Structure 1
Amino acid sequence: MALREIVKQQSQRQRQHHPANRWCIGTGIVLATLLSILACGERGTRQETGSSVKPARETVLPLEPEQSLISVVLPQDLASPDNLAAAGDRLSDGRIRYRLAVEAIARGDGDTALVYLDQLATDYPELADYARLQRAIALNLTGDRARARALLVAMVRAPDTPVLAEAFYQLGRLGDETAHDKLLARFPHSPRAIAIARERLSAEPNSFQLQLLLATYDPAAADVAAIRDRLARDFAERLMPADWEAIADGYWARWQYGQAGNAYPNAPTTPRNLYRAARGKHIAGQTTAAIAAYQRLFAEFPTAEITGFGRRRYALLLPVGEAIAQLDLAIAEFPKEAPAALRQKADLLDNAGDTARADVLRDRLLSDYPESDAAAELRWERAQQHWQSGDLANAQLQAQAIFDINFDNSIAPKAGYWFGKWSAQRGDRDRARWAFETVLARYPESYYAWRSAVQLGWDVGTFETLRARIPEIVKPDEHLLPPAGSIEVQELYRLGFVEDAWRHWKTATGDRADLSVSEQFTDGMLDLAVGNYLRGIQQVGDLRDRDEPGDRDQWQLLRAHPGYWHVLFPFPYEIPVRTWSKTRQLNPLLVLGLIRQESAFEADIASSAGAQGLMQIIPSTGKWVADKIDLKTYSLSDPEDNIRLGTWYLRYTHREYDDRSVLAVASYNAGPGNVAKWVRRYGYNDPDVFVENIPFSETKGYVESVLGNYWNYLRLYDPTVAQKLARHRNSEL
């Protein structure tokens, strides 16, 4: 029977028996027209056409042709006459039938789901295993548990594929007492296994195996911090080297370097683990133990790349003469470390009073390694020295060198912007304009692109007008398809079942550390799609640290697509952000930028200082604000309450500083007392100079990050600004 006839009959049946129900999308990404996904045709269904998935590695869709970065739009109403009229090819029919079957299951209507699922495993091989899985669920809904169980048992007898984790999970829900045990044994890294382990741990809180599973496969979860401590303290004799590595990695990721330094010596003996054992003890102030650990690294892995970095760290613990000897070894034997080691050696000689030799080393750094990060940092340091002494001409020369030679360095946007400022101060308006236009075109994502746009007279909000500016906000209809993953991941995501796509992906990739650029982006993208904002932003953001040439090329291809930036700057909690920003007369994109910096949108996150929730509110400050607005009951972990309180406080800081956002944002981080002291000391004649003079490096970085986030949200979600920037970049580049 044709799809449109199936839908027509089922719609009539639905109206007869459930007159209040309507066809609608209940989960996943809300998108707009079926014709758009059909226009993509087979482009999103590459390589695999059967029902199996290679368990070792997800398919990587190549990024060389830009066409492989696909954006799709999905339907809100799959059963509408227009969408059904557009269907007709096998792939489109399969997608619609699968989606409608899952919607029927969500309503508890197994009979309708079975109609759509009839022969779907054959007709839609891209999701054949998932069609079988949904058929088992639908059969159970109709009361036919025996057939449901038989179908699931047949599935789990097949070779390992990610969907088997789902089959084991469903078998367990049907009463098979061993199914969940098998799931934990065969797919311990899968989201289903992690959820089961956490549920069982509540009943068996002393279980070594359950605690170890969570510490290994869910290390970032808040409750796992205590589990790691318990394992290291109470179960040390039962832990294997690989277990210690998982525990140590968990400590390292949470910046608990002392605990990490104590755990890594028990992990497998690798250059990375020995370095981290030494560095962890170093940071924790265990100097004697750190020296011994560094020496073990040098003895066991004398030529490993990380050993060169370790020698530079080791030098920090030594007297000047011994430190210089270590740096000489780094310079001679580790070319990648040579520029930074030269700079470190020059600083040591300076501190020892040997400025002549120090100057020679710095000149060697600039001549032998002109494109290095260390050279860029030295040039910027010299530019600032010239600026502070009033020598703008030589300050410009240093900034120009960074802009021309170190254009890939993170300092380059700042150097270009200040080159423009100094040109303007010297009366060279043309060169100033050229610098601002170039920064805006070359580094559109940077804080200094916003500052350049302000200097060029763009209506993007200044330090003084930003708070009251109400931008036009339009979220994109199209979403980038994951650039890596099997056909199942691609199809599930395309259909809007992002949680299913995420589970399949996580089960397939496990805890692999060797993800390609495409895979790492996909990993972060799917984490964001299911609300794991902090991990998702970190995964995507960390792509900038991939330094292999091929990896850099892949990353640059991703960055050229708008979808990359929408992933990196997501827009969750839209309603409370918009609502409370309007109530407090705040720019909603400023609020969004502050939340991204404070918590990365993790609602239940807490800092070591006790700050809680999306806007990281200290409980005492929360109580003070709540008293001011007569809010009797609230929770700082509740997004609505947190944004309500945090926006009031942000508006308060703006009132305290006459709507000068740079001071208000600095005060949000460092407190009003510090900001008042800095204004008295440095003045506020030039807000750019004020930012440069902020003595707390954390607060300086915070101000630039929050306002940089604001600019990125503005250029991504305000169509007027986005279009103007696109025209500018096209004309400049």
Structure 2
Amino acid sequence: MKQIAVICFFVFLSCGTVSDSPEFVSGAERSFLMEAAGDSLLVSGEGDAASLMFTSAALLLQPGSARRAELAAKASDASVSGSVTAARLLLETPGGITPFRALRTGGSRIAPDIMSGLIAGRFVLPDYVALMAAESLVVTDPACALEFLQMIRSEFPGKAEKDRLLTTYRAALGSGDIDLQQQCWNTAFDSDDDMLKSKFYHFRGMARGVYGFNDFVDSFNLWPAGDIHAAAYQLLRDTLLADSSLANMVADPFYSGGLWNEVYDLAVNSAFPPAHIVYLGGRTRDRLGRHDLAVEILNGYLDRWPGGSDAPNACIYLARDLAALGLVDQAMQKLDYYENTWPDHSRISNLPWYRGSLLAENGFWERSIPFFAETVSRYPANTTVDDAQFYGCLALMKTGRTAEAIEAFGNFNSRWTQSVYRPSSRYWYGVLKMQSGDESGRGVLERLITDKPFSLPAAFARQYLGVPEWRPFYTDEPLEIWMARNGKPSSVPPQSAVDGLILLQAGCRKWALDLFRLAEEEVGSVYGLADFYLENDVWERGPSAAWQIWSLEGDNRPLDLWRLRYPAAWTDDVTDATAQFNMDPKLLWSIMKQESAFQPECFSSAGARGLIQMIPSTSEYVAIEHGWQDSYTPDILYDPATSILYGTACISGYGEDFNWDIPGTLAGYNGGPHNAVRWGWGTVSTEEFFSRITYNETKKYVEIVSHNYDIYKEIWPEFN
């Protein structure tokens, strides 16, 4: 297809030499044919070739014409490697987003044109244009980057000002301006922004190379989930493998930052790995469900360092990994060893729970009962006591002791009014009563539905009683009219919101969001801009605006309000990725809402990153599985399109493994597929599986995302 297009290109050019022929094809007609060829190339994945065709088509048209500008925009959007010509065509009509698009397309090569436009005053938001130009030049031409930075006249709100400071520092590093470096450094470290400080340490470390090791360590510690660490690790890897003391310095921030494969790399490839890194290497395999590797590493740790500071915990996790492999007797022996060796260890009061749970997870419910009872009686203040008491109820039910189970569930419900297990306990209490012929169980289930209407146990109770499932109710009233009718009229968007919209459309979302927050301060509320956010797909702020007015009229809410709170965010990226992996886009939005609340720069204490909160080690396996490893680094996971693509690839894999059972898929994604199996997925009912989830976070996650999904299925029928 590409060759055909190139041939056509030369044919069209040759037509230009016969302008006096009556059969002459006009420039507009040739432009149309070239655009059609470009469209074909774009469909076949030839972005740069398509961009060339669109650019050539634009050049055949009159400068300043709307069609020429439209084709320049198509050339810019199609370009993969960048195009200076397309960028210059864009700048012929310097509208609001034009200079930003030109910089994305032309990069540093378009800088002279941008500088001319700034000097001539041709651009709106010139300070933001100058900042973006400086960022594009900071590596290749730091002196020119400083020229752009000097053109900025006003202080930015929020992140743009921090980006300005960091770009100035990087340009000063590149140009050798020591005084400016120190000035920027002092400003950054007078703030309380650890992320900004982490970046400063990182770029100073990169400038120093292998001599910047301490800078890198400080950078890792300040922001373990940073989007800057991959290059540092590659630079330092050989040094870390050779020097165990240095490796020890990065072990904990790497582990907490989700760089588990890097920790594992150091644990298994160092000639003399430090004990703590070996322990953490075993933990990474445990958390990823590679129980065989975890057993090997943790056994090795205990053999080499039986008195090590991590030895008690290594023994506990080794027992759990052995149990996960079905080696129950060996696991129990390890727990006996733990009890005898470290009787005063901080986790010794958890021991009966460990014993009971690994027996129950392997089907030895009868043997588990005394250990659950021991936890309740001997360690009543332990954090595992509600787990143990609830699992004791399940054990009675599983072993056919129905009357005892009913009594035990009733006692649990009375004692643990705030436990995450209580809705499931109420469900089983009601079901077992009804199965025993006691109709009071119906009332138990009906009260559960009333008290916890959005919980999964309430959904199970509806199904058991034959009650219709919960559905969101909405009206067709426009949001703006509904708000005004309820005394909360929409505000006129101030100039800061209009400027933010330009940045949003230009792809500068993080800068736009700070202008939207400024606009919210100016109008006196978030909800005042609700209609503006709905109309312009401001997914990051819309849900907050919706939440503020959610209860204005009870359950009488317009569809617009539901859609504002539960948006179809990053629509094109989501629909493309989910179509590629045969996944329901509404499920991905349901997950995205819970994972990040539609905040692309979100990160967790465990190192999960981006819209879908992918852990770097999991993402690396996704990249390898799909042949993306050449372009993968953990640093790309904050990019929305990347997070969506990797998240969809990962979740769809779990979906296939769990037959697209929603609770199983969600538990597998949040808690690990190996843990979902450990909790009984595939061998017990969905009701029992959900009941047996022992991670509080995962239990809440499965419940909330399932509820989100119920809503998305109703309010976005166009994606069914």
The reply to whether TM is greater than 0.5 is no
* Structure with bigger RCO (C-alpha 8 Å, 6+ apart): 1
Q: Which has the larger radius of gyration?
A: 2
TM-score range, shorter chain: 0.3 to 0.5
